[in-house]
């Protein structure tokens, strides 16, 4: 392993946006540790990602602080450094607010928000030593909502606030930013291959976006790679919206 290669941990890195982030970072010369709670997906991702560069894919539930500490210590020991943390693992819950089961509220908050804080906490000494960066994958649902998504919206709003709080606490050694994706079609980014049915998107699905299309996981990954790089050295505490312009479009009927 080249000691000069920067190293990133990507949570939820076996599928979807996290898989695209892991692949993009490997293609740009990073070594990657991807942690994922889905062990079948993790096994398949390990094979696919190995073609792109040095990678370890580990079972990881970000809601388990002991597992988080172990995986981050292993990553730093295996590769000798840790330069980037991408808090990408996330889950959704749909329910009318008066019926929302509080156990599912807590599961969503534990994964999407507490998990990100636990990963940041365990990574801080390594990131500080490397002069590294954190990117939190939030959502445009931190800024706008459809009905019956309270737990998810609250978790992502919390993640945007956590981002600027950490940026102020951890500078100047560590930069911390968020990326808020809009509609990203992850249906072709499942693992093992074939595990997901590719979604059929309509012309209207695409055309409603000011850029004329639904997003691809690589649209998010390229912004994450930029935020982790020195090219973004004067950017911290920001939330970059990657949604094809949807949150800038007035939709009054
Ligand atoms: P996905 O479901 O395709 O992939 C998420 C991955 O995270 C899966 O491999 C899953 O096994 C893993 N995961 C779930 N819980 C975990 C846990 N506790 N510990 C570790 N890994 C865990 O989801 P997608 O769409 O790629 O989402 C990735 C991130 O992007 C999430 O934070 C999501 O909220 C966010 N996002 C996605 C959007 C979209 O349109 N796809 C839009 C806005 C935000």
**Whole-Å CA distances, 1 to 42, 62, 203, 219:** 22, 27, 46, 29
Best of 23, 41, 90 to mutate for ligand 1, by most ligand atoms within 8 A of CB? 90
pLDDT in tens, 162-181: 999 999 999 999 999 999 99
Closest-CA residue to 10 (of 64, 81, 86)? 86
| Intervals of the chain under pLDDT 70 | 1-3
Would 62 be classed as within a structural domain? yes
Asked, as a colleague might, if the bond just before 172 is cis with ω within 30 of 0, I would say yes
Predicted local distance difference test score (pLDDT) of residue 3: 52
Average pLDDT across the chain, whole number: 97
Mutate to test the pocket of ligand 1, among 9, 14, 16 (most ligand atoms within 8 A of CB): 16
**What confidence score (pLDDT) does residue 4 get?**
75
CA–centroid distance, 147 to ligand 1, in Å, is 20
What is the CATH number for 75?
Answer: 3.40.50.720
Whether residue 14 contacts residue 57, with contact meaning beta carbons closer than 8 Å, is answered with yes
Domain contains 69: yes
pLDDT of residue 229: 98
Residue 2 lies in a domain: no
In a domain, 226, yes or no: yes
Cα separations in angstroms, 19 against 23, 45, 142, 145, 233 = 6, 8, 22, 26, 25
| Domain-embedded: residue 108 | yes
What pTM, to 2 d.p., does this model score?
0.98
Domain total for the chain?
Answer: 1
Which pLDDT score is estimated for 1?
40
| Cα 161 to Cα 228: distance, rounded to the nearest angstrom | 19
Answer whether residue 1 is part of any domain.
Answer: no
Which one of the listed residues 44, 152, 159, 177 is annotated catalytic? 152
Tell me, using a 6 A CB cutoff, whether residue 93 lines ligand 1.
no
Active site residue 252: no
Print the domain residue range for 60: 7-248
Distance 197 CA to ligand 1 centre (A): 17
Q: Is residue 28 part of a domain?
A: yes
Domain assignment present for 103: yes
Buried b (16+ CB within 10 A) or exposed e, 188-205: ebbbbeeeeeeeeeeeee
């Amino acid at each position: 392993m080249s000691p000069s290669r920067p190293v990133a941990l990507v949570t939820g890195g076996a599928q979807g946006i996290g898989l695209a982030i892991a692949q993009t970072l490997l293609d740009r010369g990073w070594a990657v540790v991807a942690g994922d709670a889905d062990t079948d997906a993790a096994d398949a991702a390990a094979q696919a990602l190995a073609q792109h560069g040095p990678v370890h894919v580990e079972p990881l539930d970000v809601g388990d602080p002991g597992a988080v500490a172990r995986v981050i210590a292993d990553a730093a020991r295996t590769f000798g450094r840790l330069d980037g943390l991408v808090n990408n693992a996330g889950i959704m819950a749909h329910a009318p607010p008066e019926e929302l089961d509080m156990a599912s509220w807590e599961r969503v908050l534990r994964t999407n928000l507490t998990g990100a804080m636990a990963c940041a906490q365990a990574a801080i000494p390594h990131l500080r030593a490397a002069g590294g960066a954190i990117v939190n994958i939030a959502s445009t649902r931190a800024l706008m909502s459809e009905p019956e998504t309270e737990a998810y919206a609250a978790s992502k709003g919390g993640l945007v606030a956590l981002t600027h709080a950490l940026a102020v606490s951890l500078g100047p050694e560590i930069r911390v930013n968020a990326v808020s994706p809009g509609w990203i079609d992850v249906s072709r980014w499942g693992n093992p291959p074939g595990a997901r049915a590719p979604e059929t998107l309509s012309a209207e699905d695409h055309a409603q976006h000011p850029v004329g299309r639904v997003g691809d996981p690589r649209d998010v990954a390229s912004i994450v790679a930029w935020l982790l790089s020195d090219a973004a050295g004067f950017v911290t505490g920001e939330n970059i919206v990657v949604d094809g312009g949807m949150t800038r479009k007035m939709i009054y009927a």
